[in-house]
Amino acid sequence: MAENLKTQDIIKAENLVYSKTPVLTDNVMHYCPGCGHGTAHRLIAEVIEEMDIQADTIGIAPVGCSVLMYNYLDIDMQQAAHGRAPAIATAVKRLMPAKYVFTYQGDGDLAAIGTAETIHACNRGENIAIFFVNNGIYGMTGGQMAPTTLPNMKSSTSPYGRDVELMGNPLKITELVAQLPGTWYVTRQAVHTPSAVRKAKKAVRRAFENQKLKKGLSLIEIVSNCNSGWKMSPVQANAWMEENMLPFYPLGDIKLEGNLLAKE
């Protein structure tokens, strides 16, 4: 047998198959180990590189853990007040219709304080992309209950679990905005396994491509983990997410090319 390939023979420029996109800066991300934000950022950056639209993309960062997203993506960005990113993106897109504009928001930002901005940007059919990272919790402020916190799920403001009688039900805002005529593409993805990442990247790419069509808004939910907030190791958190989050927030396309997909 010719086990003649040594590591030093393989690690050569001509054999490079995967490296960090230059659209990501070299700054070390502040996220906790295993946090899906980093992967979600990277997919957006990779798509921007592949489409060669670095000079034509403006991102809107939210409030929350990803408030410092602009430290990691080497593109022009604006940082929004909590929940207001879709309003900001609306103005950016309307003033510069040829640019690619996206918001990046967490579940507290998008589905609680920013519900009005989210729904109305969707309903107006703004030709922007919204990347919505749902980890079922307010991460940055210390693991409080979010609109997306599952029934009976513990958080720092539902320490005995979310009692829906008292605290209301989790909000499936992605299914909700899919009903609006202004949304063109609505999908739910994840980034915790290689196959999920590959699918999520296709969705991200589609969200950017759609902006050329001028048919409406693309919303990509990414169900993600918050291992610090959930008080688990990263690997445990991903397993917990599969067992608990994904049955409630099933992955897959919800609306394609303006058409709601029938439930299987």
Partner 1 sequence: MKEYVLMKGNEAIAEAAILAGADAYFGYPITPQSEVLEYLMAEKPHERTGMVVLQAESEVAAINMVYGGAGCGRKVFTSSSSPGISLKQEGLSYIAGAELPCLVVNVVRAGPGLGTIQTAQSDYFQSVKGGGHGDYRLIVLAPASVQEMADFVGLGFDLAFKYRNPAMILTDGALGQMMEKVMFSEQQPRMTEFPEWATTGKSPGRERNIITSLDLDSAQQEKFNLKLQAKYRKMEEEEVRYELIDCQDAEYLLVAYGTSARICQKSVQLAREKGIKVGLLRPITLFPFPKKPLKDMAPNLKGILSVEMSAGQMVEDVLLAVNGRVRVEHFGRMGGMIPSPDEITGALENIFIKGTDHG
Partner 2 sequence: MANAKGSIVVDREKCKGCEVCILACPTGVIQLTREVNAKGYHFAYMVNPDACTGCSNCAIVCPDGVITVYRKKRPPVEKSVQ
Question: Which residues make up the interface to partner 2 (CB under 8 A)?
Answer: 1-5, 7, 9-12, 15-21, 24, 28-29, 31-39, 42, 191-194, 197-198, 233-235, 238
**Number of residues in contact with partner 1 under rule CB under 8 A:** 33
78 binds, among partner 2, partner 1, none (CB under 5 to 8 A by kind): partner 1
Beta-carbon contacts of 139 under 8 Å, excluding residues fewer than 6 positions away, are 64, 65, 106, 226, 228, 229
Between 169 and 233, name the residue whose CB sits nearer to partner 2: 233
Q: Does 116 bind partner 1 (CB under 8 A)?
A: yes
Interface residue with partner 1 among 46, 49, 56, 253 (CB under 8 A) is 56
Distances (CA, A) of 54 to 1, 33, 48, 71, 243: 47, 27, 6, 15, 37
> Nearest approach, Cβ of 226 to partner 1 (angstroms)?
20
Q: Does 60 bind partner 1 (CB under 8 A)?
A: yes
> Nearest approach, Cβ of 126 to partner 1 (angstroms)?
10
Interface residue with partner 1 among 107, 109, 117, 221 (CB under 8 A) is 117
- Token pair for 130: 């919204």
